[in-house]
Each structure stands twice: as structure tokens, then as C-alpha cells.
Amino acid sequence: KQEVTQIPAALSVPEGENLVLNCSFTDSAIYNLQWFRQDPGKGLTSLLLIQSSQREQTSGRLNASLDKSSGRSTLYIAASQPGDSATYLCAVLGGAGSYQLTFGKGTKLSVIP
Amino acid sequence: EPEVTQTPSHQVTQMGQEVILRCVPISNHLYFYWYRQILGQKVEFLVSFYNNEISEKSEIFDDQFSVERPDGSNFTLKIRSTKLEDSAMYFCASIPGLAGGPRAYNEQFFGPGTRLTVL
């Protein structure tokens, strides 16, 4: 059964700092990996999708990398802003022949002005 | 920009009552999903649906749950007899599927969720 772990569970940084969020998964036979943002009490906003054959994806100040063989992904946020404060979720599609997304518990990010 | 919509945004019900949560996926999408998130916990997969059939379901999706696409636009999740532990945020998601390439390569688009509270 696929398991996804995110470290750290919470992170507080001053505005302007660069930061890295970590995600690991147990079954490397994934099809893709998605990073989401979730604001309190709200839905899931997709940030980046990395296919299993890709090493990284970039969108604006966000860069996500994928090392499928070691079961790891990182989300790099450059020049953090208070508006980046949210919970960031990592989810993988696949593992054990499944097409369901398996989510981590998330990293709660607070960017202090 | 097309988006997945869900109604109602918040549903309060008594234990043992039936509830129907509604979703309108993006119009040209072919695969539909339900996930749930109990407060403070991970988002969990419930079921996927394609071509008017369930294609995959989790252990959570027992006989109390059912899904239906009653017309060309709506996708519903029914819980027959709600329990206290069904209280959660329920998310609908969709992907283009075949029209957008193999489903393994598709980004899942999520709705804003329905908060279900069972009293």
C-alpha cells in the first residue's frame, strides 16, 4: 500500500526566505506526483504536476523535483511571501497498479511579514 | 477558466439520515473522483468513476456509499445512513481522461468541497 510522508509538519519562516518542503513515498511505481495548496477550510489548488519520467517542473517561484527511484520529491519556494501561507500537500498517483491519488498529511507553512 | 463545482458547501444532517453530495465536473472530463478529508487528517481516496461504472474504490467506500452520474453534467455521492464518523470535507475531482491523454498523465482538478457535519 502506498504511503506518503511530508516533512516538516509545520514551518515558519520570515518573508523573503527561500524554503524547501519534502515529500517521500514508499512505492516508486508511480505515474505522477502533484503538489497542492490548501487554505484553511478550503479546497485543493493544484500547483505543479510532475510526470514519472520528469525530474522537475517550475511555475513562477515554485520548483518541484522528483527522484522516483528513491521515492522523494521536494517543493522549493523562492522569495517567500505572506500570501504563501497555507498547507502544502504532496500526492502521488499510482503504486500497486492503482490510479488513485495518495496524499501526505501536508506541511503547514507560515510566512511572517 | 473551467472549474469543478460542488453543492452544497456545507451540509448538516442527523445520524442515520441519507445525504447526497453533488458535483459538476469540468465539461469535457471523463474520469471523476470522490475524496474525503476528516478534520486534521489526510485526504483519502474514496472512488473513481468512468463510463458510468466504478473503476476503483477504497476500503472506506462500503455499501453505505454509492455514486451516480444521473445526467450529462452531475456526479453525485450518496451516503445512505450517515454515521458520526462520516463527518468530513468531501472533494470531487475530475480529469480529461482519454481526451487529454492516458489518465496516468492527467492532472486532477478538485472542487471546493462540501463540509458534511453529522450530528
pLDDT 10s digits, B65-118: 999 998 878 999 999 999 999 999 999 999 887 655 566 668 899 999 999 999
DSSP of A42-103, one letter per residue? --EEEEEEEETT-SEEEETTEEEEEETTTTEEEEEE-S--GGG-EEEEEEEEESTT--SEEE
3-state secondary structure of B108: coil
Minimal CA separation from A97 to chain B, in Å: 11
**How many CA within 13 A on the CB side of residue B112?**
9
B108–A contact, CB cutoff 8 A: yes
Q: What's the confidence (pLDDT) of residue B100?
A: 54
Q: Which of A65-69, B52-56, B60-64, B104-108 has the lowest mean pLDDT?
A: B104-108
- Residues recorded for chain B: 119
Region A42-65 average pLDDT: 94
Q: What's the confidence (pLDDT) of residue B102?
A: 63
C-alpha A15: how far from chain center = 20
Q: Would you say residue A96 has pLDDT above 80?
A: no
Query: Please, which residues have CB within 8 angstroms of residue B62's CB and are 6 or more apart in sequence?
Result: none
A46–B contact, CB cutoff 8 A: yes
A29–B contact, CB cutoff 8 A: no
Q: Would you say residue B30 has pLDDT above 90?
A: no
Dihedral sign for Cα A84, B1, B37, A26, please.
negative
Q: Would you say residue B40 has pLDDT above 60?
A: yes
Region A80-96 average pLDDT: 93
Q: Do A103 and B43 touch (CB under 8 A)?
A: yes
A71–B contact, CB cutoff 8 A: no
Which residue does chain A place closest to B103, by CA atoms? A99
Reported confidence tier of residue B54, pLDDT bands at 50, 70, 90? very high
